[in-house]
Amino acid sequence: MLWVVVLVLAACGEGGSSVAPNPDDTSPSVGFTPPGTSESTQTGGGGDGDTAVFGLRTCDDLVMIAAAPDMYRDHPIYVGNEMPVEEVAAWAATQPAFEELWIDRERNGWITVAFSSEADARQTDIDQLFPEAGVVAVAVDYTMDQLLALQQRVMSELPAGEWRMSSGVQPQHGVVTVGIGVLSDERLATVAQRFGDDPICVEGADPASIIAEGPQPEGGDGWRLLVDVVGGPPYRTGIAASQAEFDQLLGDLSLDHEQPLVDFDTEVVIWFGAVFSGSCPNIRLDDVVVVSDQSLVYANIVAPGPPPAACTADANGRTYLIAVERSRLPEAPFHIQLGVRDPPRGAPEERTVVAVDLRAPGTPLRPGDTGPDPALPGPPELDFLEPGFPITYSFNLHCGIRELGMFNGYYWHTEGATDTDNSIPPEWASNPDDTIDVELVLMEGPDPTITATYQDHSVVYYPSATLFGCD
């Protein structure tokens, strides 16, 4: 993405007056609309940027600034990063009142160039300089300097550290984002009083969703905590039903921890390999939940306290070893996982299936009694193709060949896909299974294509915003 997004966790500066729209631009407003004066704490509206709390816009429903619909043609369609960004940016930087540019993926990947004045004149220039490219000029109500100055005011006038604030400049929406941690009435009222007439939006957590901070529980209904240490593989679970199995589990985890005592006649040990961000390590196991009618045992792992401004995407492991009473276990087969939801795609090892009834005193596990769930989906499906690089794709033919799937934000269809003819080529139909491994190659251009090849027979696909599905 080419717009400037500035993340500021702390800032100092002088207070200032509210940001006023650029007086030199007489174009219709397409950016931020100053919020109303309602003090209601209710959220309302159905989108299009009209949701408000305390008269402040929330950041959930921002609408990207765009030109009038008739300014966009059906072509070109940009499916990768082939749009002439460098050329347009070099030209725009020499123009008066240029503010920023960005790529609009919702409108065929066209380039949007924002000007704080004379946008109509710049559109005339664009039509002459880039007649075949997808480029539009838009008028914005606020300059980048104004938005950046407003952001500095936000961070200096509000208690940034106390609120765990974050702030960003989003020229594509014409606002400064104000993350205030928790959307409490007190914080919202403070923001509204100081910045209610400025181009901002607020974001944060619902106060009702905040989990109280406190110590790690040592046990609960039918379970007790044995080990809680940082380390070990994330997205994992396991079980031991005998001392030998427990010794093996401790050895596999390489834990530098005194071995706890377990009565394997009445208990089993369940391992939860939890996951946390290195910048947001504050997690806690509050309960071990058994849902007998779903044959499920899972950990209720929470992140207490106000939410942080941001967390890095690294996955770190935290090991919880729990002694669970055998009488609490579901009937076999049952499965163990980190939460009530299914494991994420690409982490099937999180779920451990137990095929034997362990409720009887002292029942051990035998080889093959536990393992992963083969029914879980594998890694995330392919959804982005790098232009010009062939890649293998498992293509299911149960709906025929007219629709390939969604790639790079578009549905891809054969030419004439609206016709009823959806026959499979003989070279492809010779495969006895419904799924074949085709080679895909994406080619950019004003009319991009994906060529799918199997057994030396190729079918060409074209982008569309429509999903036809099966007849």
Is pLDDT of 31 > 70? no
Q: pLDDT at position 306, please?
A: 82
Supply angle C-alpha 7, 11, 16, rounded to 5. 110
Q: pLDDT at position 21, please?
A: 55
Q: pLDDT at position 54, please?
A: 79
| Short-list 351, 400, 403, CA closest to 377 | 351
Instruction: State the average pLDDT over residues 320-348.
Output: 94
Is pLDDT of 40 > 90? no
Please state, rounded to an integer, the average pLDDT across all residues of the chain: 85
Most confident of 23-32, 282-291, 373-382: 282-291
Q: pLDDT at position 36, please?
A: 31
Q: pLDDT at position 433, please?
A: 67
Is pLDDT of 363 > 60? yes
Is pLDDT of 25 > 60? no
- pLDDT digits over 116-161, tens only? 999 999 999 999 999 999 999 999 999 999 999 999 999 999 998 8
Residues 408 and 384 sit within 8 Å (Cβ to Cβ): yes
Residues of the chain with pLDDT > 90, as a percent, come to 66
Is pLDDT of 30 > 50? no
Instruction: State the average pLDDT over residues 283-292.
Output: 97
* Whole-number Å distance between alpha carbons of 83 and 133: 8
- Between residues 468 and 259, which one has the greater pLDDT? 259
Is pLDDT of 439 > 60? yes
Angle, in degrees to the nearest 10, between helices 144-157 and 185-195: 130
Is pLDDT of 33 > 70? no
The pTM of the full predicted model, rounded to 2 decimals, is 0.69
pLDDT confidence band for 17 (50 / 70 / 90): very low
Q: pLDDT at position 382, please?
A: 74
pLDDT confidence band for 420 (50 / 70 / 90): low
What are the extents of the domains in the chain? Answer: 66-139, 219-371, 391-464
- pLDDT digits over 227-248, tens only? 999 999 999 999 999 999 999 9
Is pLDDT of 293 > 60? yes
Is pLDDT of 32 > 60? no
pLDDT confidence band for 15 (50 / 70 / 90): very low
Q: pLDDT at position 198, please?
A: 96
- pLDDT digits over 157-201, tens only? 999 888 888 999 999 999 999 999 999 999 999 999 999 999 999
Q: pLDDT at position 47, please?
A: 36
Is pLDDT of 16 > 90? no
- Between residues 49 and 292, which one has the greater pLDDT? 292
Is pLDDT of 289 > 50? yes
pLDDT confidence band for 371 (50 / 70 / 90): very high
Structure tokens at 11: 């800032």
Q: pLDDT at position 26, please?
A: 36
Q: pLDDT at position 431, please?
A: 67
pLDDT confidence band for 310 (50 / 70 / 90): confident
Is pLDDT of 43 > 60? no
Instruction: Give the list of residues 6+ apart from residue 68 with CB closer than 8 angstroms, or none.
Output: none
Is pLDDT of 327 > 90? yes
Is pLDDT of 35 > 50? no
